[in-house]
């Protein structure tokens, strides 16, 4: 498989499909091409998984010079960390496009084009091994997202998109500055001017520089994650985004933040990461509890789930900045699970909205009478979101907590545990008010899920269950790579302790 | 090998450039603004050729060819725009065309 | 009077004429006259090029500017019937300021020309080499078609694009309800003429 | 033989999967058969395994798969088969099977029939896994899973707001307990570096020596989890509300099996608990207090199922009391017998409710014995067993745990008094219930009374079987301290013996205690007879004796209202505050920045005239300035 540039194929296939879609007129044909493109991308990424050997660092690497004068390459590669994200990404995109078949009837061509472009952008972020390439994908992905919310969104979509784009752009511009600074600092000390991520990761940087660069990267990632208090773009964007937009936003976009922390912040700036640990842990715990508290009082279903994302992603940062193997693995699992579960929840809400044209919790009730299949699946994902053991949500939270206890930051672990009570409270209360009780008169004629919709949710449910029962299948992908990061970190900790 | 000295040509180029610039700045008629732009290009051409001869380098002259190309293309497109514009907005007054305003 | 003085005198005449015509271009009211003044600039500039032994460029300027571009201008003017229209205020309010700034810029150019410009290394294309090639035209051809062939070709692409663009732009139909697609050209011009006259007489016309 | 242990959880799981996938569209009523078959299979395999393991009760394990490996954390899914597990398995599967059979009749007309028989095997699966777990994490996983089933089944009739509310309340209260459990689990990982039972147990003395006090903390945290699941004060509030679920569910989950998980867990972790006398004392005190506390509330409840619910809380309290004094065997013994007679009582009350067309209020019953003799007879047997009348099951186990309490030292006297009082009240409320329901003149409308009927055989047969259990189950513990169950569980609770917590009573003591507890039970029955039979209908008049006390008890010491106002209301208020803060302060700052930028931009916008020549002029001016600057610098 070495001779085939399989990663490039995974990456660019959706773009090819997108271009073909542009030349088609028939809705059926457009969907056929789009589905084929994303399905092939999914299959190939699974093939990459099959051919992947855990623990061997970056694999399936491709690189050739792009702008050699500046040390810029087109370089792709996967390790376990990015592989899991790519798998999640291609999986969700495929399902979203299938879902769109049933739900999107307005500007189909543009919609599919945008979605496929978005897929390319996000996959690129996870595959890029060159900072410039990474940054390009990181920014490119904003545009289709902007279009997706701005065109197919709700009433206040303009406000939401502008907020979303400005917010994230602000963060990423600082990151660009930091990337350039990194380039010059590394070049000045070693004489090699390169944007190669792996090479730059090998370098060591002064403490002052680390601090500033860490801060710039931190802002970009913290806004993406999003950490409290940078989270307010999220509820607005989610509420206004179309269903698939929300799925992608919650499912993958947020993971780019966590991925960034693991891939860049920790290896590049170990000392600064150590220095910032306490602050970030405090912010994480605040996110967990605060997000849950705010979610409790939301009246809009999508906002509730959006705030629950804030809470869940708090576990991710908590795990990452515990600097332990279990914490990092837990953060990865939490990201994976959150992508699946929250994505599925947004799909559920979308399906509900298509039927009732209402997302306000107070106006719903007793829907389980009319929608038994939906009720079962919605309950399943609500429980997974609560972190019910046996489903994927639990694995991540549990391992993050393990990490917190191992790292002797028990107080944060103990506080975070209380988040799981609150998460049960807001989810179950919401489920009760929406699905249980007596049915409202206006909802007497609702139809249950179609086969297609059931199949989509069932596919996600199966993976959620799988990841809950046998998480080792997924942990095994990346645990060797995270352990490398942890070892590097603890090594610097020891060395800096020796210096002191 | 250049008579009179290079500076004279440069000053001539500058003069043409400035006059063209002034035309752009003060005239309200779009057509004349365009002609002024041609003047600016001509000023540049003089400078190019002056340097080319002073430095014994044909590149300067070759570049003027490209400058001519630009001038021709610009004239063609510009005039087409003028025609379209006058049909569309009934005016060639520059200060009435202010859709660039934010 | 040696040849040097003679050449200097010729240069002085040509340069002064260039500047004078250029000033006319931006001062005259009637665009047609402006265009004719531009022709004057171009012809004298061609003279200066000949003075510089750039015969090909001199010819090219006359052919392209006088023969193509300015004709195009005149044609547009006739098409839009502009010669008659322009009796309104010709100059912009910012004119005095602009003249001051222009003067300052010119002074700065002159200062820079006199003070800081140093002539760099001599190139390979000495008059002897040019003569060896068989003259200015051949020499330019050598440079253009051998060393700079690709840029030259790209320039042709640019021209093609400009032609296409010009056609597309000019072919656009006006979006007004009383569109000229139903009118003949003459009818349309007449209508424009009427409009222009009323605007001229209207004192409340915006600047 | 032990290799087939995986069949025990697998069979109900398969039944669940089949019913869940096909029940709604295809199987419908046939789901009942499949569920019964699955649970029966589990019962059969359990019995076979029990018989095969009878002579050697050494723990055996069956590895299934690796759950997760992350750094030095590694965890396999392993099934454990040892004496304690097998005892629990027998109780769980046998009671489950009875309840399954019974449910076919009870749920017959319910439109959610298939749903019921999907949830029920899922619960059985989870409960089996809970007792077969070989490490804390699997225990926790299924600890939550049984909670989920409880949630699903309490809220089974989800169109009722009260049912949904009760379900959420149960889940959340359990979650509060689970937080304690989870913290305890994480502490164990932190301190021991492992979650496997055997490794934890063998390391426990070392850990206690190295870090004194940490075990107390761990044990208390785990006990918080047990308090949630086993409805001990102050986390007991969910169990009475849980009676909103169908009655077979109350019998199976909220009386016989799931609620005993806390007792099981503490018993399972006996090697840890015996090392911490503080934790033991807390367990005993909480248990004894809950026993008495719940019994007093039980006296005044009028809903037949709620009386049983408080009775369950009370009995669980007795079990914890026994655990707290180190009488682990007695606690498990009582757990087993309690499963039979309390299951019987619940199913009997279900039969009553079924026969009276959904009547649950005892004030509108009475004189039902003649109408439903089988139900009445078995119910009385269950009541006698619960009250502790020789020689029924409840007598032996309760007698044993009271005896162990009395022998356990100074604190033992207090505990004994509390336990004895609870026993007395138990007899009172049990027979209050029996008299009000089955005897005296009926208080039902004649029209409705005429429609009262005995339940179908599919429901009465399980009652009879369980009644046999309620009579006979106690004999596994006879003679006291040397019965079958004592020998069988001896090795499991060896740690208590090492810790000097086991006191072998003299024969005289045993006999004296037997006499005392019989007297207590008879006294209770007599009191109930005096008040509720002779002066029937009595409830109002009794209430008149001490109105404030009665009000206090009827309102469950106002604890529910307190929780509602302070915890739920407080959380909601805080949530509202946070939401306001988020919308107006956090987001407000963001929008303020946006507004400022926009204002500045608006100012700058006026410079944009949109006129080309103005822009060109700025360019020229700029160039002039740059050149001027350059010339200045060149000088």
Judgement on whether residues C103 and C167 belong to the same structural domain of the protein: no
CATH number at residue B30: 1.10.287.3510
Q: How confident is the model at residue C179 (pLDDT cuts 50, 70, 90)?
A: very low
Asked if the C-beta of C65 comes within 8 angstroms of chain B's C-beta atoms, the answer is: yes
Region D180-189: mean pLDDT is: 89
Enumerate neighbours of D (3 or more CB pairs within 8 A): A, B, C
Residue environment code for D400-409, b if the CB has 16+ CB neighbours within 10 A, otherwise e: bbbbbbbbbe
Q: Using 50, 70 and 90 to split pLDDT, how confident is the model at A498?
A: low
Q: What is the per-residue pLDDT across A472-482, written as a single tens digit (0 to 9) for each?
A: 889 888 888 88
Q: Which of A18-22, A285-289, A354-358, C32-36 has the weakest average pLDDT?
A: A354-358
pLDDT tens per residue across span C95-111: 888 889 899 999 888 88
Query: Among A298, A324, A406, whose Cβ lies nearest the Cβ of D579?
Result: A298
B86 domain-assigned: yes
Among C94, C111, C115, beta carbon nearest to D613: C94
CA distance C91 to chain D (A): 11
Domain residue extents for chain A: 276-490
Q: Chain B contacts of C31, Cβ < 8 Å?
A: 29, 31-32, 35
What is the CB neighbour count within 10 angstroms for residue D159? 13
> Each residue of D75-100: pLDDT tens digit?
888 888 888 888 888 888 888 888 88
Residue B44 clears pLDDT 90, i.e. is over it: yes
Mean pLDDT of B42-70: 90
Q: What is the number of domains present in chain B?
A: 1
Residue of D65, D68, D173 best to disrupt the A interface, most CBs of A under 10 A: D68
- Say yes or no: C16 and C29 in one domain: yes
Same-domain pairing of C155 and C181: no
pLDDT, tens digit (0-9, with 9 covering 90-100), for D340-353: 888 888 888 888 88
State percent of chain D over pLDDT 70.
Answer: 97
CB contact under 8 A, B102 and D605: yes
Closest CA to B85 of B48, B33, B38, B49: B33
Rounded to two decimals, the ipTM of the complex is 0.70
Q: What is the mean pLDDT of chain C?
A: 79
pLDDT bucket at A410, cuts 50 / 70 / 90: confident
**Is a pLDDT exceeding 80 seen at residue D491?**
no
Read off the pLDDT of each residue in A282-293 and give the average, rounded to a whole number. 89
Give the confidence band of D117 by pLDDT, cuts at 50, 70, 90. confident
D634 contact C CB<8A: yes
Q: What is the DSSP string of A347-359?
A: HHHHHHHHHHS--
Please determine, for residue A500, whether its predicted confidence score (pLDDT) is greater than 50. Answer: no
Residues C35 and C57 in one domain: yes
Residue A40's pLDDT band, with cuts at 50, 70 and 90, is very high
- Backbone torsion region of residue D231, taken as left when φ is above 0, otherwise alpha when ψ lies between -120 and 50, otherwise beta: left
Average pLDDT over residues D531-538: 63
Confidence of residue C206 (pLDDT cuts 50, 70, 90): very low
Mean pLDDT of the D140-169 span = 86
**Domain of C109, in residue numbers:** 95-122
By three-state DSSP, how is residue D416 classified? helix
> Residue D26 pLDDT more than 60?
yes
What's the burial of D58, exposed, middle or buried (CB within 10 Å: 0-12/13-18/19+)? exposed
Tell me what pLDDT residue C115 has. Answer: 65
**CB nearest C22 (choices: B7, B39, B69):** B39
Residue A159, chain D, CB below 8 Å: the answer is no
Residue, of C45 and D403, whose pLDDT is higher: C45
A44 falls in which pLDDT band (50, 70, 90)?
A: very high
Contacts of B97 in chain D (CB under 8 A): 610-612
pLDDT, tens digit (0-9, with 9 covering 90-100), for A68-125: 888 888 989 898 899 999 999 999 999 999 998 888 888 888 899 999 999 999 999 9
Domain count, chain C: 4
Do at least 3 CB pairs under 8 Å connect A with B?
no
Residue D208 has a pLDDT of 81
CB A81 within 8 A of CB A478: yes
For residue C59, the model assigns a pLDDT of 93
pLDDT of residue C195: 66
Give the chain B residue nearest D613 (alpha carbons): B25
Same domain, residue pair C84 and C157: no
Is residue C46 less than 8 Å (CB to CB) from chain B?
no
For residue D547, the distance in angstroms to the closest alpha carbon of chain A comes to 36
Calpha distance D228→D121 (Å, rounded): 23
Considering the domain architecture, whether residues C45 and C85 belong to the same structural domain is answered as: yes
Q: How many other C-beta atoms are found inside a 10 Å radius of the C-beta of residue A167?
A: 22
- Among D613, D617, D631, the residue with its CB nearest the CB of C108 is D631
Output the pLDDT for position C207: 39
Instruction: Evaluate if residue B45 carries a pLDDT over 90.
Output: yes
> pLDDT digits over B80-99, tens only?
888 887 777 766 676 666 66
What is the domain range of residue B13? Answer: 6-94
Q: Which residue of B has its CA nearest to D607?
A: B101
Distances in whole angstroms, Cα of residue D170 to Cα of each of C63, C142, D154, D232, D242: 94, 93, 8, 13, 7
CA of residue C3 relative to chain centroid, distance: 31
The residues with which D76 forms a beta bridge, in sequence order, are: D66
Cβ contacts (< 8 Å) between B49 and chain C: which residues? 49, 52, 54, 57
Checking if the pLDDT of C39 tops 90, the result is: yes
pLDDT tens-digit readout, A206-231: 888 888 999 999 988 998 888 888 88
> C131 and C51 in one domain?
no
pLDDT at D536: 54
Instruction: List CB contacts (< 8 A) between C115 and chain D.
Output: 631, 634
- Contact partners for chain A, using 3 or more CB pairs closer than 8 A, are D
The pair of three-digit structure tokens given for residue A454, joined into one six-digit string: 């059931």
- Distance between CA A315 and CA A479 in Å, rounded? 18
The arithmetic mean of pLDDT across residues D344-368, rounded, is 82
> C105 vs B21: CB contact, 8 Å cut-off?
yes
Instruction: Using a CB–CB cutoff of 8 Å, tell me whether A297 touches chain D.
Output: yes
Rounded alpha-carbon distances, angstroms, from residue D400 to D142, D480, D514 = 31, 7, 9
Q: Is A238 on the interface with D (CB under 8 A)?
A: no
Pick the residue with more confidence: A130 or D24?
A130
pLDDT in the model for residue C14: 93
For the record, the structure tokens of D583 come out as 């919308």
Are C185 and C204 in the same domain? yes
pLDDT of residue C82: 59
Cα–Cα distance for residue pair C13/C5, rounded to 1 Å: 12
Average pLDDT over residues A146-162: 85
């Amino acid at each position: 498989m070495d001779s085939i540039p399989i990663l490039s194929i995974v990456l660019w296939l959706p773009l090819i499909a997108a271009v073909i879609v542009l030349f088609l007129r028939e809705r059926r044909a457009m969907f056929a091409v789009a589905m084929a493109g994303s399905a092939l991308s999914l299959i190939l990424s699974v093939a990459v998984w099959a051919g992947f050997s855990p623990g061997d660092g970056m694999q399936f690497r491709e690189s050739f010079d792009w702008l050699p004068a500046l040390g810029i390459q087109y370089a792709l590669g996967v390790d376990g960390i990015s592989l899991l994200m790519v798998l999640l990404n291609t999986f969700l995109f495929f399902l979203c496009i299938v879902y769109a078949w049933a739900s999107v009837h307005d500007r189909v061509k543009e919609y599919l084009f945008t979605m496929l472009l978005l897929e390319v952008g996000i996959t690129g972020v996870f595959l890029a091994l060159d900072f410039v390439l990474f940054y390009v994908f990181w920014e490119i992905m904003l545009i289709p997202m902007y279009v997706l919310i701005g065109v197919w969104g709700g009433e206040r979509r303009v406000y939401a998109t502008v907020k979303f784009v400005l917010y994230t752009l602000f963060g990423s511009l600082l990151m660009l500055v930091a990337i350039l600074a990194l380039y010059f600092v590394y070049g000045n000390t070693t004489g090699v001017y390169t944007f190669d991520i792996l090479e730059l990761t090998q370098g060591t940087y002064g403490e002052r520089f680390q601090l500033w660069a860490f801060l710039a990267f931190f802002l970009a990632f913290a806004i993406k994650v999003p950490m409290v208090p940078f989270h307010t773009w999220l509820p607005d964007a989610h509420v206004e985004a179309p269903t698939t937009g929300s799925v992608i936003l919650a499912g993958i976009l947020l993971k780019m933040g966590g991925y960034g922390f693991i891939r860049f912040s920790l290896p590049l700036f170990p000392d600064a990461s150590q220095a910032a640990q306490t602050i970030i842990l405090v912010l994480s715990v605040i996110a967990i509890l605060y997000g849950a508290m705010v979610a409790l009082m939301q009246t809009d279903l999508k906002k509730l789930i959006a705030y629950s994302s804030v809470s869940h992603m708090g576990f991710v940062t908590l795990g990452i900045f515990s600097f332990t193997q279990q914490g990092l693995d837990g953060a990865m699992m939490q990201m994976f699970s959150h992508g699946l579960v929250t994505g599925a929840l947004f799909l559920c809400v979308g399906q509900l909205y298509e039927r009732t044209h209402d997302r306000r919790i107070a106006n719903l009730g007793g829907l389980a009478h009319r929608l038994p299949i939906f009720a079962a699946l919605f309950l399943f994902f609500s429980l997974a979101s609560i972190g019910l053991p046996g489903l994927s949500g639990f694995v991540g939270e549990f391992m993050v907590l393990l990490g917190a206890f191992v790292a002797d930051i028990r107080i944060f672990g103990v506080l975070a545990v209380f988040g799981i009570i609150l998460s049960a409270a807001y989810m179950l209360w919401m489920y009760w008010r929406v699905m249980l009780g007596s049915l409202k008169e206006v909802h007497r004629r609702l139809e249950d899920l179609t086969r297609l919709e059931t199949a989509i949710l069932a596919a996600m449910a199966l993976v959620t269950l799988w990841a809950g029962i046998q998480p080792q299948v997924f942990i095994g992908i990346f645990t060797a790579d995270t352990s490398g990061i942890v070892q590097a970190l603890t090594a610097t900790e020891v060395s800096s302790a020796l210096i002191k | 090998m250049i008579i009179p000295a290079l500076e004279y040509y440069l000053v001539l180029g500058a003069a043409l450039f400035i006059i063209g610039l002034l035309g752009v700045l003060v005239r309200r008629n779009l057509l004349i603004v365009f002609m002024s732009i041609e003047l600016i290009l001509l000023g540049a051409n003089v400078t190019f050729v002056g340097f080319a001869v002073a430095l014994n380098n044909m590149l300067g002259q070759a570049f003027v060819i490209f400058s001519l190309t630009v001038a021709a293309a610009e004239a063609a497109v510009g005039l087409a725009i003028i025609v379209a514009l006058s049909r569309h907005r009934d005016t060639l007054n520059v200060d009435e065309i202010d859709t660039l305003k934010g | 009077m040696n040849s040097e003085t003679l050449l200097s005198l010729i240069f002085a005449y040509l340069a002064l004429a260039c500047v004078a015509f250029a000033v006319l271009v931006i001062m005259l009211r009637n665009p047609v006259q402006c265009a004719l003044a531009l022709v004057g600039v171009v012809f004298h500039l061609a003279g200066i090029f000949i003075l510089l032994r750039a015969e090909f460029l001199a010819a090219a300027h006359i052919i392209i500017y006088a023969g193509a571009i300015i004709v195009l201008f005149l044609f547009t003017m006739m098409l839009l019937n502009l010669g008659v229209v322009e009796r309104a205020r010709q100059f912009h309010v910012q004119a005095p300021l602009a003249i001051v700034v222009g003067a300052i810029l010119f002074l700065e150019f002159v200062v820079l020309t006199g003070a800081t410009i140093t002539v760099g290394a001599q190139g390979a294309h000495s008059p002897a080499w040019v003569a060896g090639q068989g003259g200015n035209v051949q020499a330019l051809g050598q440079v253009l078609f051998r060393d700079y062939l690709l840029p030259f070709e790209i320039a042709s692409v640019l021209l093609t694009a400009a032609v296409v663009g010009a056609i597309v732009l000019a072919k656009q139909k006006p979006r007004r309800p009383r569109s000229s697609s139903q009118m003949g050209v003459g009818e349309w011009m007449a209508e424009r003429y009427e409009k222009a006259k009323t605007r001229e007489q209207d004192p409340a016309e915006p600047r | 033989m032990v290799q087939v242990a995986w069949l025990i959880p697998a069979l109900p799981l398969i039944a669940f999967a089949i019913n869940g996938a096909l029940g709604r569209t295809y199987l419908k009523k046939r789901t009942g058969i499949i569920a019964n078959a699955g649970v029966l299979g589990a019962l059969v395999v359990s019995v076979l395994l029990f018989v095969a393991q009878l002579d050697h009760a050494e723990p055996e394990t069956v590895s299934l798969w690796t759950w997760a490996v992350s750094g030095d954390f590694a965890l396999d899914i392993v099934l454990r088969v040892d004496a304690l597990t097998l005892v629990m398995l027998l109780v769980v599967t046998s009671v489950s099977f009875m309840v399954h059979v019974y449910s076919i009749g009870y749920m017959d007309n319910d439109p959610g029939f298939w749903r019921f028989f999907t949830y029920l095997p899922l619960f059985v699966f989870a409960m089996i896994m809970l007792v077969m777990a070989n490490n804390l994490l699997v225990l926790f996983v299924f600890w939550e899973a049984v909670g989920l089933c409880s949630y699903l089944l309490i809220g089974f009739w989800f169109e009722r707001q009260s049912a949904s509310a009760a379900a959420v309340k149960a889940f959340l209260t359990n979650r509060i307990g689970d937080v304690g459990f989870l913290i305890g689990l994480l502490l164990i990982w932190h301190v021991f570096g492992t979650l496997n039972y055997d490794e934890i147990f063998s390391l426990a003395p070392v850990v206690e020596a190295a870090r004194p006090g940490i075990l107390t903390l761990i044990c208390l945290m785990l006990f918080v989890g047990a308090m949630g699941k086993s409805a001990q004060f102050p986390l007991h509030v969910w169990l009475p509300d849980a009676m909103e679920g169908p009655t077979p569910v109350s019998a199976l989950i909220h009386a016989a099996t799931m609620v005993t998980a806390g007792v099981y867990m503490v018993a399972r972790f006996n090697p840890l608990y015996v090392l911490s006398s503080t934790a033991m004392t807390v367990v005993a005190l909480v248990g004894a207090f809950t026993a008495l506390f719940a019994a007093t509330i039980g006296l005044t409840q009028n809903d037949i199922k709620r009386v049983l619910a408080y009775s369950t809380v009370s009995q669980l309290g007795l079990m914890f009391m026994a655990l707290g004094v180190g009488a682990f065997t007695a606690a498990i013994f009582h757990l087993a017998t309690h499963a039979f007679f309390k299951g019987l009582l619940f199913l009997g009350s279900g039969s009553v409710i079924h026969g009276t067309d959904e009547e649950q209020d005892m004030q509108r019953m009475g004189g039902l014995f003649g109408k439903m003799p089988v139900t009445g007879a078995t119910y009385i047997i269950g009541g006698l067993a619960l009250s502790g009348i020789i020689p029924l099951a409840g007598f032996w186990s309760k007698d044993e745990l009271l005896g162990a309490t009395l022998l356990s030292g100074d604190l033992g006297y207090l505990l004994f008094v509390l336990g004895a009082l609870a026993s007395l009240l138990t007899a009172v409320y049990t027979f209050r219930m029996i008299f009000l329901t089955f005897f005296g003149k009926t208080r039902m409308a004649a029209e409705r009374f005429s429609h009262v009927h005995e339940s179908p055989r599919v429901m009465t047969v399980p009652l009879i079987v369980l009644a046999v259990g309620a009579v006979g189950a106690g004999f596994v513990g006879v003679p006291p301290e040397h019965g079958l169950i004592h020998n069988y569980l001896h090795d499991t609770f060896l740690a208590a013996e090492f810790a000097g917590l086991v006191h072998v009573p003299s024969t005289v003591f045993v006999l004296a205690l037997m006499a005392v507890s019989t007297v207590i039970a008879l006294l209770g029955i007599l009191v109930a007879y005096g008040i509720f039979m002779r002066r029937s209908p009595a409830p109002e008049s009794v209430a008149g004796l001490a109105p404030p006390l009665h009000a206090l008890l009827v309102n469950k010491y106002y604890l529910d209202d307190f929780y509602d106002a302070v915890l739920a209301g407080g959380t909601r208020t805080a949530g509202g505050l946070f939401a306001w803060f988020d919308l107006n302060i956090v987001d407000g700052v963001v929008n303020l920045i946006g507004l400022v930028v926009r204002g500045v931009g608006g100012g700058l916008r006026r410079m944009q005239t949109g006129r080309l020549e103005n822009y060109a002029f700025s360019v020229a001016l700029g160039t002039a300035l740059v050149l001027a600057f350059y010339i200045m610098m060149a000088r």
